Amino acid sequence: MQLSFAQQLDDLIVLARATGAVDDPTIREELARSWSEVRIMRFTAQRTLAAIDGTANAATNGPATSIAKLYWSQWFQRFGELAMRVRGASALVSEDVAFGTDGLQQTFLFGRAVTIFAGSSQIQRNIIGESVLGLPREPR
């Protein structure tokens, strides 16, 4: 997944340079942050794969999986918002008559869904709180 994110980010950086959006210090800072976070996702995935020794089970993988899912879904949502800021006013319209939105617009809209499917961000936070931090279960 992080490989796809890295490619999308590289494409956005090219667009930011082409449009001059990279000259905005806030945009430049967010691009740098996104770049760092993609690298964090990559190294985390490599560490997780290296740790698999055949004894892994749901109890030990659950918290790590929740942390990874929460991290990448929050990143993806912020990335979609950043993409729209890089696009500027052109983000409000699309030349694609068939679908109505282009790839960056779809990323922005899909960014909302990724924080919900496969366990919402709130559920992931509950798993992390209970399994990693040892917090009491949330009242039902």
| 95 residue type, one letter | E
Residue 28 has pLDDT above 90, yes or no: yes
Q: Residue 94 CB: number of other CB atoms within 10 A?
A: 14
Domain membership flag for residue 140: no
Q: What is the pLDDT of residue 55?
A: 59
Domain membership flag for residue 138: no
Domain membership flag for residue 137: no
Question: Pick the residue with more confidence: 105 or 5?
Answer: 5
Domain membership flag for residue 116: yes
Q: What is the pLDDT of residue 83?
A: 93
Q: pLDDT, tens digit, for every residue of 47-97?
A: 777 776 655 554 556 677 788 888 888 999 999 999 999 998 877 777 666
Task: Write the CB contacts of 137 (distance below 8 Å, at least 6 apart in sequence).
Answer: 130
Q: Residue 8 CB: number of other CB atoms within 10 A?
A: 19
Question: Pick the residue with more confidence: 124 or 58?
Answer: 124
- Domain extent, residue 74, equals 2-131
Domain membership flag for residue 77: yes
Residue with token string 């210090």: 25
**The domain spanning residue 20 has which CATH number?**
1.20.140.10
